[in-house]
């Protein structure tokens, strides 16, 4: 991974981006792609689109990731100054208590999600409390003091920094899915450097974690796109506590994951596998019998049906503050995307042979 690409990744991971509040992260993304894109646009809800123009008669392909992350939102300020919270997306109630958090008010406010000391709890009754029953302590002594700093509707994220682990692995909050937006941008950069025939879009969508909402907007708005490739994370199930029946074939460090079935168009699956072989990139396969759980599910039904593919980055501990990925997988995904863009002109039109 080149130096500017690594700096870009670190900047994305350091910028909070809960669903519905993605603007700061989108600014980081558009600043980076502005160095090599021919044009950049942002719609009313913050979906960001960059394009590298290709040959006039060549197909157009969009490489996408979603900018948003899970988090919390302030739903009430209590008389004693504590804050009640609700989920943004699929936040995990089993890892939230005892965490440092940031309330993203007009000025950031630091706090903690309270956890009663082990000495004061009846451990025989210990259970994971629902998010709606948890609270944030910002140090305020009453509601009046709390409201001087925060208000209902402010988003909240766990306060963590990206950490380098052994080898090429990193841990961070929000790897799902700033790594996908990183890959889309890097795929565009590498495709532009190659001078591919296809017109290539890079897209950073909003509000995936709350129902693929940004992808629904973009899928209609980009009406000249012939194919979408949605990059997201998927579960690497190679850690010891994954139950046997939930283990799959995906491992950290074994390469990008190409999904088959459901939204994944067979022509795009073939194109991705051929591009990987040409680039010397190892890929892993994953079954999507019903749905992918990614923006691909929204893209492929847009405008009466648009060929789509889900390519994923192996990720451990998804939807926790300590997600773990291998930088080698991430770099390989960007190379795979550039290869897909390069091969799009020869592979089009994308159709099912009936």
Residue 225 to residues 47, 64, 336: CA-CA distances in angstroms? 16, 12, 19
CB-CB contact of 313 with 178 (8 Å): no
Contacts of 342 (CB under 8 A, 6+ apart): 191, 194, 196, 198, 275
Backbone angles phi, psi at 145, to 5 degrees: -70, -40
Q: Is 39 annotated as a binding residue?
A: no
Left (φ > 0), alpha (ψ -120 to 50) or beta: where does 195 sit?
A: left
Q: Is 104 annotated as a binding residue?
A: no
Strand order in the sheet with 163-164: 163-164, 169-172, 323-326
DSSP 18: B
Place of tokens 């909050």: 173
DSSP string, 52-87: E---TTS-EEEEEEE--B-EEEEEEE-TTS-EEEEE
Q: Is 92 annotated as a binding residue?
A: no
Cis peptide preceding 333, ω within 30 of 0: no
Catalytic residue from among 208, 243, 323, 335: 208
CB-CB contact of 212 with 219 (8 Å): no
Token pair in block for residue 131: 């998010």
Q: Is 238 annotated as a binding residue?
A: no
Q: Is 119 annotated as a binding residue?
A: no
- Catalytic status, residue 208: yes
Instruction: Give 3-state DSSP helix, strand, coil % of the chain, rounded to 5.
Output: 30, 25, 45
The residues annotated with a catalytic role in the active site are 208
Residue positions in the annotated binding site? 66, 176, 209, 232, 319
Binding-site positions for Zn(2+): 66, 176, 209, 232, 319
């Amino acid at each position: 991974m080149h130096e500017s690409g690594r700096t870009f990744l670190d900047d994305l991971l350091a910028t909070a981006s809960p669903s519905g509040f993605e603007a700061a992260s989108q600014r980081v993304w558009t600043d980076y792609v502005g160095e090599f894109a021919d044009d950049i646009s942002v719609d009313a809800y913050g979906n960001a689109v960059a394009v590298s123009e290709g040959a006039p008669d060549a197909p157009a392909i969009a490489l996408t990731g979603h900018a948003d992350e899970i988090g919390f939102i302030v739903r009430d300020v209590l008389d004693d100054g504590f804050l009640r919270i609700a989920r943004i997306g699929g936040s995990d109630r089993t890892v939230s208590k005892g965490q440092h958090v940031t309330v993203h008010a007009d000025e950031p406010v630091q706090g903690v999600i309270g956890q009663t000391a082990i000495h004061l709890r009846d451990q025989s009754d210990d259970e994971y409390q629902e998010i709606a029953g948890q609270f944030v302590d910002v140090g305020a002594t009453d509601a009046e003091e709390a409201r001087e700093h925060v208000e209902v509707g402010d988003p909240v994220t766990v306060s963590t920094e990206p950490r380098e682990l052994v080898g090429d692995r990193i841990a961070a909050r929000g790897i799902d899915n700033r790594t996908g937006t990183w890959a889309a941008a890097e795929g565009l950069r590498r495709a532009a450097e190659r001078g591919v025939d296809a017109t290539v879009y890079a897209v950073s969508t909003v509000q995936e974690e709350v129902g693929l909402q940004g992808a629904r907007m973009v899928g209609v708005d980009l009406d000249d796109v012939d194919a979408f490739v949605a990059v997201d994370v998927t579960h690497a199930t190679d850690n010891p506590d994954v139950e046997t029946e939930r283990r799959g074939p995906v491992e950290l460090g074994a390469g990008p994951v190409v999904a088959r079935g459901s939204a994944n168009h067979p022509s795009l699956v073939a194109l991705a596998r051929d591009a990987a072989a040409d680039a010397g990139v190892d890929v892993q396969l994953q079954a999507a019998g019903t749905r992918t759980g990614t923006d691909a599910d929204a893209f492929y039904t847009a405008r009466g049906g648009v060929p789509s593919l889900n390519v994923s980055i192996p990720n451990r501990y998804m939807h926790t503050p300590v997600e773990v990925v291998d930088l080698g997988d991430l770099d390989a995904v960007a190379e795979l995307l550039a290869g897909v863009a390069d091969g799009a002109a020869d592979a089009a039109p994308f159709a099912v042979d009936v």
